[in-house]
Amino acid sequence: MNAPSTKKRVIGIALITAVAILGDAMLLIVLPLYWHEFGLTAMWQIGLLLSINRFIRLPITPLVGMFYQRFQLRTGVFIALLLAIFTTFSYGFIQAFWLLLLMRVLWGVAWSLLRLGGLLTVMDTTSDHHRGNFIGLYNGLWGLGGLVGMFAGGLLVDQTSILFVTTSFAVLGLLALPAVFSFVPVTKGANKETAVKREIENGWLTPYVALVLVTGLVMGFIVFGVFASTLSPLIEGVYHQEWTIARLTVGAATLAGLLQAVRWGWDPFIAPVIGRLVDAAKTSQRVLLLPLFGGGLLFFILGSVSPISLLLVSLLLFQLLSTIFVTTTDTLATNVAARSNRVKVITAHTIVTDVGAALGPLFAFFVIDIYKVSTVYYFSGTLLIALGAGWLIFMKRTAFFADS
């Protein structure tokens, strides 16, 4: 039997990841609105549950990197999918904060295995000439799990029950297990490390790499942390009169899920195009400036807008910019990793992204508990603009407009 082509491997690992994240994506939309049904008693518990899986990845991800230097990529992805199935199913019947916290910790381990395994699989089968394209395809397709998890999860929970949704998503995970053996390679993540030992000894953490890692930190904080976890409360604060379509009540959870679903729906088409633009080396940093400055301005609008129609348009615009942000940042990181210690650089990129994603919900709900959701968006907008200014200063001082 012939080995799958590069494109089939990328599609395969992306769809396996998509199935694995269904439960986590659903929780981002449902938990802030139905937190009493999960047995929670305080708002801070929402932030901690949505953050702990990211915090646990900080010590776990280096260990996962060591794991992939010794074991097959296929083994790690298979373990990750099993953990995802178990934790997703558990969300439906556990109504105790500490048990839910444990499940979120286990999901954090699963995501570390999935994320690192996925990026290493893409790197194994691509080159600098088309890596951005395949990174865009990979990110776009695994984002389909966010589409189904957030939109279908939010809609079905509004109409049925949390247990029904989590059980359905867990069954889909079981059906995906055989795909791991078809599409995930058996190679170890460290196969190409010996070729770069000299560069490793000379030090891999250059100023440019440091700036790429800081960008990954901010990207995780904004896109996967603040925005993903506060979308429902942001809409709920403006959406006072619920719509009814075909006798179905369109609640805040459904509307938030629909908005996120639109983003995940266009990602498989838009993200590869963005990746091809980033592959043109002299435009990669310029592409990054668009989501930094544009996203910063949009966050100030999101924090102050009141008509629901204008809010929805602004949210869609930011989600387009977030697709550009994620694809460009991941491509910059993998291009750096391809010229250095692959596992070490990708591990560092994964860690800083997780730090940002972990701090996002915790910061957001802490601030919301004291002030209001608009304060979170004003701060985040300022952060994006400041990072954009940092990139401009770096480019000006180094005349750096191409990957190196």
- Give me the amino acid identity at 77: V
Q: Which of 159-173, 231-245, 353-367 has the highest mean pLDDT?
A: 159-173
Is 404 domain-assigned?
no
CB 279, CB 129: distance < 8 Å: yes
Q: Which two tokens stand for residue 200?
A: 């490793």
Is 403 domain-assigned?
no
Residue 172 pLDDT level (bands cut at 50, 70, 90)? very high
Q: Is the pLDDT of residue 82 over 90?
A: yes
Q: Is the pLDDT of residue 402 over 50?
A: no
Q: Is the pLDDT of residue 1 over 70?
A: no
Is 365 domain-assigned?
yes
Domain count, the chain: 1
Q: What's residue 173's pLDDT?
A: 94
111-143 confidence digits (pLDDT tens): 999 988 888 888 777 766 777 788 888 888 888
User: Phi, psi (5° rounding) for residue 48?
Assistant: -70, -40
Mean pLDDT of 204-230: 88
Q: Is the pLDDT of residue 92 over 50?
A: yes
pLDDT top residue among 236 and 115? 115
Q: What's residue 400's pLDDT?
A: 53
Residue 220 pLDDT level (bands cut at 50, 70, 90)? very high
Q: What b-and-e string marks burial along 231-270, b requiring 16 or more CB atoms within 10 Å of the CB?
A: bbbbbbbbbeeeeeeeeeebbbbbbbbbbbbbbbbbbbeb
DSSP 149-192: IIIIHHHHHHHS-HHHHHHHHHHHHHHHHHHHHHHS---BTTTT
Q: Is the pLDDT of residue 95 over 50?
A: yes
Percent of the chain with pLDDT over 70: 87
pLDDT top residue among 292 and 310? 292
Mean pLDDT of 302-311: 82
Mean pLDDT of all residues belonging to the chain: 83
Beta bridge partners of 244: 249
Is 357 domain-assigned?
yes
Q: What is the CATH number of the domain that holds 293?
A: 1.20.1250.20
Is 287 domain-assigned?
yes
H or E segment to which residue 249 belongs = strand 248-250
Is 255 domain-assigned?
yes
28-45 confidence digits (pLDDT tens): 778 888 888 888 888 888
Q: What's residue 3's pLDDT?
A: 55
Nearest to 380 by CA among 324, 296, 320: 296
Beta bridge partners of 248: 245
Is 65 domain-assigned?
yes
In the three-class reduction of DSSP (H, G, I as helix; E, B as strand; rest coil), residue 244 is classed as strand
Q: Residue 217 sits in which domain range?
A: 6-188+196-398
Is 177 domain-assigned?
yes
| Prediction pTM value | 0.75
